Amino acid sequence: MSFQIRLAQMEDIAGVVALQQKAFPPPFDPELHWDPEHIEAHIRVFPLGQWVAVSHDGTVIGSCSNTLISEERWNLHAPWYRTVGGPSLEGIELNGNTLYGLDISVDPDFRRQGVGRSFYEARFEYVRTHQLTRYGTACRIPGFVESGETSAENYVQNVVTAEMTDRTLTPLLRYGLTCLGVIENYMPDPESLNHAALLEWKP
Ligand SMILES: CC(C)(COP(=O)(O)OP(=O)(O)OC[C@H]1O[C@@H](n2cnc3c(N)ncnc32)[C@H](O)[C@@H]1OP(=O)(O)O)[C@@H](O)C(=O)NCCC(=O)NCCS
């Protein structure tokens, strides 16, 4: 499968929004999907930090949004909204030393073919090129509830040691991110019981 990773353009907005519905199906709350004005704001506010993956015919098959935050903000390890300031990058800190990943989505029909890895290579390259301290994010753990584990910390530890597989956290660990812990009440997410794994990559 051939695909290209490139910076998002205004004409990609409809494709990115349509992809959200495929990539985050129920029980994920559709109210949390990007609206067109959110993507428009991402491209306007931080154009060098928004990427899409397009197939050979130009269809958007993946997207990832990013912002910049300071060391102080990063160290709070706060929930999504407080960290990024809102869905239109309201809290961006343009001189921040941390590239922070808001989301990554790959079309289910194009998964496990390296699209997610390519987005991460673009993120890491941005960190290197701009001499930032790190890439950071917090990752859903959608296999938590169905795993039967009673504690999110134990579940995440089992995924880190590869005793368990999580369809979202496992790929991100394969990209070389280090797990620093678990954030409670990160965002409404029934499958993760609102938990997220805090992840970091340093060049
Ligand atoms: C997570 C996601 C971005 C991964 O994208 P992808 O393009 O399918 O991943 P890749 O092809 O780059 O796979 C990377 C590695 O993870 C592994 N992997 C991917 N999906 C996996 C799964 N469901 N279970 C176990 N391993 C998996 C691959 O085998 C690959 O390993 P390798 O490099 O050692 O061969 C994609 O599944 C997705 O969009 N999920 C839904 C949206 C979402 O939850 N986003 C995260 C928000 S925090």
- How do residues 121-175 score in pLDDT, each as one tens digit? 999 999 999 999 999 999 999 999 999 999 999 999 999 999 999 999 999 999 9
DSSP output for 49-88:
GEEEEEETT--EEEEEEEEEE-HHHHHH---HHHHH-STT
Predicted confidence band of residue 190 (pLDDT cuts 50, 70, 90): very high
Decide: 177 and 104 in contact? Cβ < 8 Å.
no
Which of ligand 1's atoms lies nearest the C-alpha of 196? 48
> Would the CB of 104 count as within 6 Å of ligand 1?
yes
The alpha-helical segments, DSSP class H, found in the chain are: 13-23, 36-45, 71-76, 80-84, 115-129, 144-147, 152-160, 169-174
Supply the mean pLDDT for the chain.
96
> Would the CB of 168 count as within 6 Å of ligand 1?
yes
> Which residue from 156, 139, 59 is spatially nearest to 103, judged by alpha carbons?
139
> Which residue from 130, 111, 122 is spatially nearest to 8, judged by alpha carbons?
122
Q: According to the model, what pLDDT value does residue 11 have?
A: 97
Beta-sheet strand order (sheet of 60-69): 3-7, 50-55, 60-69, 98-106, 134-140, 196-201, 178-183
> Does residue 1 register a pLDDT over 80?
no
Q: According to the model, what pLDDT value does residue 124 have?
A: 98
Report the pLDDT averaged over residues 50-77. Answer: 97
Q: Rounded CA gap, 146 and 10, in Å? A: 38
Asked whether the whole model's pTM tops 0.85, one would answer yes
CATH assignment of the domain containing 122: 3.40.630.30
Strand, coil or helix: 134: strand
Q: Which neighbouring-strand residues pair with 172?
A: none
Q: How far is the CA of 8 from the centre of ligand 1 (A)?
A: 21
Q: 16, 33, 66, 106: which to mutate for ligand 1, most atoms within 8 A of CB?
A: 106
Cα distances from 64 to residues 48, 53, 160, in angstroms, run: 12, 9, 23
Percent of the chain clearing pLDDT 90 (strictly above): 96
| Cα 137 → chain centroid | 7
pLDDT one-digit tens code per residue, 71-111: 999 999 999 999 999 999 999 999 999 999 999 999 999 99
Strand, coil or helix: 38: helix
Alpha carbon distance, N-terminus to C-terminus of the chain? 29
Give the residue numbers spanning the domain of 68. 3-201
Strands in 110-202 per DSSP E? 134-140, 178-183, 196-201
Percent of the chain clearing pLDDT 70 (strictly above): 100
Structural domains counted in the chain? 1
Tokens of 134: 């790190």
**Residue whose CA is closest, atom 44 of ligand 1?**
168
